[in-house]
Structure 1
Amino acid sequence: MGHNSLKGCIRFCLIMLVFSLAAPAAQALSVAWGGSWKTLQSEHFEIHFEDGFQDMARRCLAIAEGVHRELLPFFGSGPANRTHIVLSDDTDFSNGWATVLPYGRIRLFVSAPSDPGSLESYDEWLHLLIRHEYVHILHMEMGRGTVNTGRKIFGRFPLLFPHVLTPVFLLEGMAVYFESDAVAGYGRLQGSHYAAQMALEVRNGNWKDLQEVVIPLRNWPINKAYLYGAFFIEYLISVYGEDAVSEFLYRQSGELIPFFTLNSQAKRVFGKNFTALWEDFRLAMEERFADTDSGGQGMEGRMLPSGDFFLQVAATSGDGFFLVEDSGKDRRRLFRYAGKEREPMMALRPLSDMDVSEGGRLAVSRVLRGADGRVFHDIFIYTPEMGWDRLTRNQRFSRVRWMPCGERLLVSRQRAGLSELYFLDLEGNMRLLWRGNQGEVLGAFGPDVTGGWLVAGLKRAGQGWNLEMMDLGTGRWQRLTDTPSMENEPSFMPDGRVLFSADYGGIYNVYAMDTDTGMLEQWTRSSGGAFRPRFAGSKGLYYQVYTADGFRLLRVEDPVALKVFSVEDVADEKFFPFLFDEAVNLEPERKYTPLKTLRPRYWFPVWLFNEDTEQLGFETHGSDALDRHSYGLVTTYDVKNDLVNGSFVYACDNRWLLFLDRSHRFGELKIHETSFDYILREDRVTLQRNHLLNFFEDRLSVHGGLVHERDTLVDTPSLLLRGPVESNLAGMALTFRDEEYYIHVPGIGWGFYGELIAESNDILDSDYKGAVVQGAMRKIWNLPGSRTLGLRLAGGYADREAKPFRIGGTRTGEEMRLFGRNEAVLRGYPRSVQTGNICASQRLSLSSLLFRVERNWSLMPFGMGDVSGSLHVDSGSAWDEGMSMRQLTGAGLELQVELVLGYHFRAPLVLGYARGLDSDLGEDQFYTALGFSF
């Protein structure tokens, strides 16, 4: 192993250390900047929240303590220390995550689900969320025997948590099973959507074998780890009992290498390995869902061409139907349908809702991801004459409907866990119409043709989803339904009837209600579910159906009643008991401090060696409960040469970055036929402050940085001794990023990135002098299919006394750095093939998804996802001012194989070949690289 590979190992260990979190915490981003944070503590939990969320925090602790009592008997033991809960209101989406590394943490996003799908079946959002995430904590914390001994020695090292290294379908299946309550009727296993999904998997021949479910990545259904996992755990418990499943978990919790014992432990407990259990599970699902077909998927509608895979955003205006196609292969595009014909209109940025006025104006609720970590919605208006106009800023309105007059909008949001409904005029002025109480969630809504009434899906506290009408003049609600079913996505038809989707009979279908008589007409008969119905006048009904291959758009020109009945026939109000209402003992509220949780929680030995060195050391990592502060350390002692090496990285939010690195390079120098060994010490310090200023929806940002580099010769003959060479650069950078990623496209799917960096050696003492200016731009075009065309242009100028640029090689290690760069890649040529104070490079690449494997090797910790390839042509040169430029060109290809290791960890393996076309300097290069991500 050479020096460079050894140094790479050290840095790889550091990267692994900083990101050594459990797979369920893959979304572990720091909370948004700012806020005054507080902490409350109960017997088994600490909760951290922004000032003003005290009541919600107390409610969370009451729920968490109740859930702890209920779940503890099954898992046998709980965490030795308190679990940290973070209550977050910095995103408009409903989600959460949990991890036990480096200690037990749960993140709760307080915005409750308001759409039909799978998450809408809950008694109380915080209860469902806490229950699901705390199952993960109890599950992954389990340990016994040698595992516990190892934890006492090394602390909370990731490999000492066997259930962290468990297939996703077992982790999520366990959590979904225990979030569901068959008696009260809530949770995903009790909702209609999961049952319909599994029924289609069984009946349409799309049953996923075990190898497909072990590493769920991008294939349909996207939620298969949850779906199959939940039904599989339910099957195991129904056949073998809770005690058997608990015993399996207990046995597995003592395995130091848990990947290889899953089958043997299953055979001991259940009498069969997972392959046999999965086959039994398949037969049980076939028997269970064999007779649940409701008459054929979408049999009464005509399927239309549309983007598939996802549920699409849709709207109507008069006879026009509008659909945003999001296929996962290219940009979202708005289409207008006239019957079965469709007309492309424009590309759109990510959005959650839209509506079209009678005059053709488009109102959308766009998803905006701020540099501060917040993910909020805002309202934009588009007219052909004026283009886009932003009406709101950081107001979080995720739903929008035009009023019939076309001069104002109805918009809704959730903020601090409360649903709100507003009037919004075209000047951006807001007027509050209604604010719900805790536990009341407003779903989709729409006004009638007079503008006097609003119909909405509304979930009252302790109840299920029902339809209600609001008098927009008085703000009073009038209930239309009292049923145990999920009724949502309502809109008024021109004749005054209400069109909506409901899961009467266990399957979502489209219904029309006469609000005066309470009579209902069933308009669709779908086996997977009919969603987002829109009535387009003479063009009829448009709706989207769930199929075993994704969502599809259907149209019925003249809807007819397949069934007529009264709302009283399905009336039987669903009521959820108010759980865990008892008070819990709390310590006094205190100000949040990161120091309470920032200490390192483990250490692990490191041993690195080659012919020049033998290094012994350790690594560790730490982060605070809010994930605002994180750090990693790898330090080693070279026992062969009496040298100390190490790397330290500290990050604060996504704003501050500090990187310290000391390493040693071993080399040989020949002078007059005599060879001398030398050791070069390389010290590097980078301090970077990102997002000093942000503009244009935070796509344009200003950053600052300092880079210190010091090279010192140590342990050399006296004739080679010289003083250290020191470089101290201070700089500013301007970056613009407008890029999108798609699920079926490798890498960046579309967009533009540009940067301009100016640095100086004269602000701080340095052996180099003068300024360095460099810039780069990257443009990605989306091509038909899962293909992209990329162009990159870069160049730089350095004063003559500054460090020169170097060009050449397949990878320089500087690609991800913003400051202190002086090397450029040029594949097909040796590293530093040219140097100079001027540098220019160009790259053209064509990339494509070749095929998708998405399978694991049995239950072994080895799997494969996407395989993609690219062709590239590189050119560039480095030369000194006043000298002629010699342009070098190379061409080659790369194959990228997405490996999945340990069920959770993605390791893109790059296999590349490049040939330099210059007859003197070019060469054939074969290279490999291995990345790592979660």
Structure 2
Amino acid sequence: MKSVVLAILLVLSAASLSFAAVMDTSFKFSTIETSHFSIHFHQGLEPAARKVAATAEGIHPKMVREFKWEPQEKTQVVLIDDTDFENGMTITIPYNMIILQVVPPSLVSSIGEYDDWLKVLITHEYAHVLTADAARGYSKVTRSIFGKPLPSIDPLSELLFFVTAPPNTFNPRWWHEGMATWAETEFTGAGRGRASDFDMIYRMAVAENNIPSIDRINGELPDWPDGNLPYVYGYRLQQYIADTYGKEALGTLSLEQAGRFPYFINAPPERLTNGKDFAQLYRDMVQQMFREQDARIVLLSRAPYTPLRLVSNEGENLTFPRVSPDGSRIAFNRNDPHDHPTVVIADRQGNRVMEFRRVQSDRGSLTWAPDGNTIYFSQAEVTNGFDIFQDLYAFDLNTKSTSRLTKGLRLHDVDLSPDGTTFAAVVSNRGSQNLVLLDRADVTAYSRVTPRQATDLQMQRVSAPRWSPDGRSIAYTVTDNAGHTGIHLYNVVSGTDRAALTLDHNVAFPVWTRDGGALIYVSDETGVFNLFAYDLKEKKSYQVTHLLGGALHPEVAPDGKSILLASYTSRGYSIVSTDLDRGKWSEQRGPTLPPPRQLNQALPPGTPEPVPPQTPEAKPYSPWKTLYPHFWLPHMTFDGSDMPPLGIFTAGQDVLGYNTFLLSADYSTGRNRAYYDLTYLNNYFYPTILLQGYAQPFLYGDLLQRGGDYYELNRAFKAEVSVPVNFIESNYRVKGGYWLQDQRALSSLDPNGRFRGIDVFQGRRDSFYAGVDYASNLRYPYSISSEEGRLVSAQVRRYQRGLGSDVNSTEYSASYSEFLRMPSPALKHHVLYVNLAGAAAKGDLTPQQALTVGGVPSDLNPYSVRGYADRSALGRYLAKGTLEYRLPVSNLMSGPGTAPLFLEKFHTAVFVDAAHVWDDHITNLGDRTLVGAGGELRLDVSIGYWLTITPALGVAHGFGSGGENTIYLTIYANL
């Protein structure tokens, strides 16, 4: 679950603008207004919207009291069903907005244990609003003046942003997610604080002495449980503070911090925590957790643990083992921070890996064809331009090829019948999940066959269907919104469905014994995820395993004598096996842990919140209530005058992202001139439409190497259409437009209209342009840069006198980058980077548009050659190449306590840059070839808790005329 989108990323997003529509253009939105919320939803989601409206209003007064803050404006809530993966996101700048993906959370997700999933989601996200939006003291004053601002890209507004934005925005992830996870635990009947999953993580971290220090829980750590660390340990810290100093302490902490300058979080108010800072509180919490979990481990140790045999632990998160029909091979999923997610196929003992198969985002399930030559699985891909839906795929073990079999069906948890004729699967749609059947014979490449729906459940989770050995029944689990989970049996012959077992605990992943007489399933009845068996004839449940960690994804071997499962350790899940001996099953439960947290509400678990008799009628969505400017900031630009021009900056976007605008206006007293920039983006349609008008100063540093900075006034209007083509691991963007531009000198010219002897161009340069960008570069948590894939871009621009321009010319530019992984396991994360780029200007050449090479790489210097000064050579034709070998040195993964600094990965690179520029008319520009080589030391650093950059210290030598030995410092944002 994503939450509290950091302001700095919003800044970058707003400054760069979006290049494509933001959601499926077939969605038609409506709005329900309540006293404190505006609920926006598209067709098919009105029942969910009414439930969210009632739930949000129900929790509002309780949470406002707890966190001691009530927003001054309504919170905008967007409900959307455009993915098969649960998620939530909260943004509090420039106004409060929550986005909820309306899909029931999977049990294997961090929020998979719930009593009412929509209530847990809205409670968690609204806690973000109440804690991040809070203002006190100076921040309350600045908000009354400026609103909640985003900065422009000028230094003045960037500086003022840090003293005018809500201070809590800048707090670390563990603070935000800890507060919100505490709230979902406090204000619902479930929440992760009561989850067996979180308790399992704590228990095994204590048992194996593997608890991260506070500097490592902000989310940058690639190791298990990686992105969940802020939730797991952030919650545990906030819960410790609430238990020790009173639950009102968290609201006090939030409000106190809302009156401090950003990053002054280290020391909570002395009167509240007896002078202890967060690092000391975290150490105290860890000591308490050791005491608590040691006692729970002693309790579990009263009975012998089930012996487990290791099958595979090569990887961080190994899940969903499936045995081939002949019992000779196993397949399972492997997720690892060092590599791409894969399906691993190995021998039965896991000793010999036979095949790896890359997969994309999926829920993990696998199924074999009866002949053992094909593995079927689901994975996600972009559908309808923007939706991320799962479909059925097949991997042929003979040809080693993968084929996509369906398109847009939203299938997951796929299982093939024993006779190989029918798939059982789960389909998600508009907040509900249901069991469906799909004939294998009907499935062809990209087919749009309609599955047969076997159930008709609303707003409930359906998961893990498995066929019985005789092919007559399907076992699957259903989780309702009252805290109950059960195993259902669907009779394929009669089409009837019945609940075989229902519990007030989690029940998951049922599989059949080989004789079909019992179901093996996972449950946390004992406080630990163990395996249980339900005898269908006796209608009795037995405990099969007693584990210290936990078990998921059981798979009975073909001989019925053993069972594979995913077993938890503090470093993730491994594939193990154990004997399946009915004589050792116990009707009596083994040692049972007490609940991690007692319910703090008067209502018992599963009791629904009171629902108002009627919510307001829905009305068509209108963008105007959120589109207007919610903030402003002083703005600064530069035009070469003694006093930089000053003005204002503002921006706005409606809550659905259909309309976006940015506006800046400045006045130069030195030049007695006004400047402005107005940009508008329209995302109602599949292509994005951009309209921009501006009159801005523009700098040409050291124009044509004549020792002077030349400023000109650019007045322009641009109209652009951009069309995205999106995939999970790649994307294209095709754009085209018309640019009317007038260039006039701001710098002083001599009587002949020259700048330092240069005949600068003044006049119209109107142009048509078109371009394409392609990206397929991939990186992994431990990567030091992109490790595979490529980046390609090309653009052409035409200036035509007959169309209003004062010049006739054509400009071309192109760039190609390739990232090559080293094939040897000994060279893990070593990367060879290759870049080729070129540009040409044909026709009338203006001095301002001369192509230059040299200098250090940056976004503003695409044709860098290290070992030479900036603009060391220039002309109208340019070719440039870079060859760079990148290699890791050390994974530091540490920082100074709670300070907003975290050192991640230290790495280095050696490089060769080469470029050639030439000109066929202006001979005094000369023909130049530049070659430079050297090396860089690089360090990935997380600053401000949210932003990762890579400072680099480099040395370079230029071989040739103008070359020099240089030592330089630069900063990369995304290698």
Q: What's the TM-score once normalised by structure 1's chain length?
A: 0.88
In the alignment, the residues of structure 2 paired with residue 100 and residue 696 of structure 1 have an alpha-carbon distance, to the nearest angstrom, of: 28
In the alignment, the residues of structure 2 paired with residue 699 and residue 606 of structure 1 have an alpha-carbon distance, to the nearest angstrom, of: 35
Greater shift, 506-515 or 74-83, is seen at 506-515
**2:295 is the counterpart of 1:291:** yes
Task: Say which of 548, 553, 556 aligns to 2:578.
Answer: 556
In the alignment, the residues of structure 2 paired with residue 491 and residue 285 of structure 1 have an alpha-carbon distance, to the nearest angstrom, of: 35
Task: Trace 1:95-114 onto structure 2 (pairs within 5 A).
Answer: 95-114=87-106
Alignment partner, residue 76 of structure 1: 68
The 8 Å contact of residues 657 and 687 in structure 1, kept in 2 or not, is answered as yes
Shift of 1:71: 1.4
**2:179 is the counterpart of 1:174:** yes
Alignment partner, residue 620 of structure 2: 591
Greater shift, 589-598 or 157-166, is seen at 157-166
Alignment partner, residue 532 of structure 1: 553
Alignment partner, residue 541 of structure 1: 563
Task: Say which of 368, 392, 396 aligns to 1:356.
Answer: 368
In the alignment, the residues of structure 2 paired with residue 512 and residue 48 of structure 1 have an alpha-carbon distance, to the nearest angstrom, of: 44
Task: Say which of 116, 138, 163 aligns to 1:124.
Answer: 116
**2:680 is the counterpart of 1:640:** no
**Alpha carbons of structure 1 residues 14 and 261: separation in structure 2 relative to 1, 3 Å:** closer
Alignment partner, residue 704 of structure 1: 736
Alignment partner, residue 8 of structure 1: none
**2:130 is the counterpart of 1:89:** no
In the alignment, the residues of structure 1 paired with residue 257 and residue 38 of structure 2 have an alpha-carbon distance, to the nearest angstrom, of: 29
Shift of 1:61: 0.5
Write out per-residue CA displacement over residues 534-560 of structure 1, whole angstroms, 9 at most, x where no aligned residue: 233259432222221222222336667
Alignment partner, residue 303 of structure 1: 310
In the alignment, the residues of structure 1 paired with residue 549 and residue 56 of structure 2 have an alpha-carbon distance, to the nearest angstrom, of: 35
Task: Say which of 408, 429, 432 aligns to 1:394.
Answer: 408
In the alignment, the residues of structure 2 paired with residue 831 and residue 793 of structure 1 have an alpha-carbon distance, to the nearest angstrom, of: 19
**Alpha carbons of structure 1 residues 133 and 696: separation in structure 2 relative to 1, 3 Å:** closer
**2:429 is the counterpart of 1:415:** yes
1:831 is paired with a residue whose SS is coil
**2:713 is the counterpart of 1:681:** yes
In the alignment, the residues of structure 2 paired with residue 107 and residue 139 of structure 1 have an alpha-carbon distance, to the nearest angstrom, of: 17
1:868 is paired with a residue whose SS is strand
Task: Say which of 131, 136, 142 aligns to 1:144.
Answer: 136
Alignment partner, residue 587 of structure 2: 565
**2:496 is the counterpart of 1:504:** no
In the alignment, the residues of structure 1 paired with residue 22 and residue 708 of structure 2 have an alpha-carbon distance, to the nearest angstrom, of: 50
Write out per-residue CA displacement over residues 39-77 of structure 1, whole angstroms, 9 at most, x where no aligned residue: 110111101111332222111110110010221221233
Greater shift, 44-53 or 698-707, is seen at 698-707
**Alpha carbons of structure 1 residues 698 and 670: separation in structure 2 relative to 1, 3 Å:** closer
The 8 Å contact of residues 133 and 166 in structure 2, kept in 1 or not, is answered as yes
The 8 Å contact of residues 331 and 750 in structure 1, kept in 2 or not, is answered as no
Greater shift, 878-887 or 386-395, is seen at 878-887
In the alignment, the residues of structure 1 paired with residue 424 and residue 43 of structure 2 have an alpha-carbon distance, to the nearest angstrom, of: 30
Task: Say which of 928, 934, 956 aligns to 1:914.
Answer: 956
Write out per-residue CA displacement over residues 743-765 of structure 1, whole angstroms, 9 at most, x where no aligned residue: 11133232233344343323844
2:345 alignment partner AA? R
The 8 Å contact of residues 259 and 859 in structure 1, kept in 2 or not, is answered as no
**Alpha carbons of structure 1 residues 838 and 243: separation in structure 2 relative to 1, 3 Å:** closer
In the alignment, the residues of structure 2 paired with residue 670 and residue 547 of structure 1 have an alpha-carbon distance, to the nearest angstrom, of: 63
Greater shift, 526-535 or 831-840, is seen at 831-840
**Alpha carbons of structure 1 residues 718 and 267: separation in structure 2 relative to 1, 3 Å:** farther
1:739 is paired with a residue whose SS is coil
Task: Trace 1:649-668 onto structure 2 (pairs within 5 A).
Answer: 649-653=679-683, 655-657=688-690, 662-665=696-699
Shift of 1:467: 1.5
1:757 alignment partner AA? Q
**Alpha carbons of structure 1 residues 217 and 836: separation in structure 2 relative to 1, 3 Å:** same
Shift of 1:686: 5.4
Alignment partner, residue 404 of structure 1: 418
Shift of 1:516: 2.2
**2:323 is the counterpart of 1:316:** yes
In the alignment, the residues of structure 2 paired with residue 656 and residue 910 of structure 1 have an alpha-carbon distance, to the nearest angstrom, of: 38
Write out per-residue CA displacement over residues 710-736 of structure 1, whole angstroms, 9 at most, x where no aligned residue: 542134333225651543332333444
How large is the Cα RMSD of the aligned pairs? Answer: 3.7
1:120 is paired with a residue whose SS is coil
1:414 alignment partner AA? S
In the alignment, the residues of structure 1 paired with residue 727 and residue 552 of structure 2 have an alpha-carbon distance, to the nearest angstrom, of: 38
Alignment partner, residue 915 of structure 2: 876
In the alignment, the residues of structure 2 paired with residue 561 and residue 734 of structure 1 have an alpha-carbon distance, to the nearest angstrom, of: 67
Task: Say which of 210, 225, 232 aligns to 2:230.
Answer: 225
The 8 Å contact of residues 381 and 727 in structure 2, kept in 1 or not, is answered as no
**2:897 is the counterpart of 1:858:** yes
**Alpha carbons of structure 1 residues 799 and 717: separation in structure 2 relative to 1, 3 Å:** closer
**2:764 is the counterpart of 1:742:** no
Alignment partner, residue 596 of structure 2: none
Alignment partner, residue 212 of structure 2: 208
2:451 is paired with a residue whose SS is strand
Shift of 1:447: 0.8
The 8 Å contact of residues 526 and 591 in structure 2, kept in 1 or not, is answered as no
Alignment partner, residue 757 of structure 2: none
In the alignment, the residues of structure 2 paired with residue 440 and residue 151 of structure 1 have an alpha-carbon distance, to the nearest angstrom, of: 42
Shift of 1:601: 1.3
Greater shift, 792-801 or 203-212, is seen at 792-801
Shift of 1:811: 3.4
The 8 Å contact of residues 518 and 566 in structure 1, kept in 2 or not, is answered as no
**2:467 is the counterpart of 1:447:** yes
**2:722 is the counterpart of 1:690:** yes
The 8 Å contact of residues 309 and 550 in structure 1, kept in 2 or not, is answered as yes
In the alignment, the residues of structure 1 paired with residue 908 and residue 715 of structure 2 have an alpha-carbon distance, to the nearest angstrom, of: 37
In the alignment, the residues of structure 1 paired with residue 913 and residue 716 of structure 2 have an alpha-carbon distance, to the nearest angstrom, of: 29
1:582 is paired with a residue whose SS is coil
2:587 is paired with a residue whose SS is strand
**Alpha carbons of structure 1 residues 393 and 666: separation in structure 2 relative to 1, 3 Å:** closer
**2:268 is the counterpart of 1:260:** no
1:555 alignment partner AA? S
The 8 Å contact of residues 377 and 414 in structure 2, kept in 1 or not, is answered as yes
In the alignment, the residues of structure 2 paired with residue 559 and residue 689 of structure 1 have an alpha-carbon distance, to the nearest angstrom, of: 66
Task: Say which of 795, 816, 821 aligns to 1:757.
Answer: 795
The 8 Å contact of residues 204 and 548 in structure 1, kept in 2 or not, is answered as yes
2:855 alignment partner AA? G
In the alignment, the residues of structure 1 paired with residue 650 and residue 40 of structure 2 have an alpha-carbon distance, to the nearest angstrom, of: 25
Share of identical aligned residues, percent? 22
Alignment partner, residue 626 of structure 1: 656
Alignment partner, residue 489 of structure 1: 509
Shift of 1:20: 7.7
Alignment partner, residue 5 of structure 1: none
1:614 is paired with a residue whose SS is coil
The 8 Å contact of residues 682 and 688 in structure 2, kept in 1 or not, is answered as yes
Shift of 1:420: 2.4
Write out per-residue CA displacement over residues 410-458 of structure 1, whole angstroms, 9 at most, x where no aligned residue: 2222110111222223234333232433232101111122221101121
Task: Say which of 373, 377, 380 aligns to 2:386.
Answer: 373
**Alpha carbons of structure 1 residues 516 and 566: separation in structure 2 relative to 1, 3 Å:** farther
In the alignment, the residues of structure 2 paired with residue 423 and residue 138 of structure 1 have an alpha-carbon distance, to the nearest angstrom, of: 44
Alignment partner, residue 576 of structure 1: 606
Matched positions, count: 901
The 8 Å contact of residues 216 and 224 in structure 1, kept in 2 or not, is answered as no
**Structure 1, gaps ≥5 residues long:** 1-12, 816-822
**Alpha carbons of structure 1 residues 731 and 474: separation in structure 2 relative to 1, 3 Å:** farther
In the alignment, the residues of structure 1 paired with residue 294 and residue 728 of structure 2 have an alpha-carbon distance, to the nearest angstrom, of: 54
In the alignment, the residues of structure 2 paired with residue 621 and residue 583 of structure 1 have an alpha-carbon distance, to the nearest angstrom, of: 39
**Alpha carbons of structure 1 residues 922 and 298: separation in structure 2 relative to 1, 3 Å:** farther
The 8 Å contact of residues 635 and 666 in structure 2, kept in 1 or not, is answered as yes
**2:728 is the counterpart of 1:720:** no
In the alignment, the residues of structure 2 paired with residue 335 and residue 756 of structure 1 have an alpha-carbon distance, to the nearest angstrom, of: 39
